[in-house]
Amino acid sequence: MSEIVRVYHNARCSKSRSACQLLEEQGVALEIVEYLKNPPGRDELAGLLKKLGLPAEAIVRTGEDIYKSDYKGRTLNEDEWLDALVAHPILIERPIVVRGARAVIGRPPEKVLALL
């Protein structure tokens, strides 16, 4: 496959590392985006959600401290969730793997194989 696959990656996350390893073992060329260092902007995030076919709330990591302190128990609309994810990229589920017009969340890591 010559098409580059983009991975929104957190190197500290074992699932994210496993997904990258799985893709590399398949000979896939990866573009790694360390989204905590280079967070996606609002438009990029909205585009990712469209490719995932999910609302923003569906990719929120509810185990994070910032979620528990600032968002748990609150009802936010799509725009408010997008703002929260842009403000606190640690809340974005990982890894998000993108190939062309499709994307998947690599949990479990084997889900990334659906893009190949």
Burial of 61 (0-12, 13-18, 19+ CB in 10 A): middle
Closest among 77, 75, 95 to 16, alpha carbons compared? 95
The radius of gyration of the chain from alpha carbons, rounded to an integer in Å, stands at: 14
Q: Are 60 and 83 in contact (CB under 8 A)?
A: no
Query: Could you confirm whether 20 is annotated as catalytic?
Result: no
Q: What is the pLDDT of residue 3?
A: 82
Q: How far apart are CA 32 and CA 34, in angstroms?
A: 6
- What does the pLDDT profile of the chain (116 residues) look like in tens digits? 468 999 999 999 999 999 999 999 999 999 999 999 999 999 999 999 999 999 999 999 999 999 999 999 999 999 999 999 999 999 999 999 999 999 999 999 999 999 99
Print the domain residue range for 53: 5-115
List the CATH number of the domain containing 53. 3.40.30.10
pTM score: 0.94
Among the listed residues 6, 13, 36, 61, the single catalytic one is 13
Q: Are 49 and 56 in contact (CB under 8 A)?
A: yes
Domain count, the chain: 1
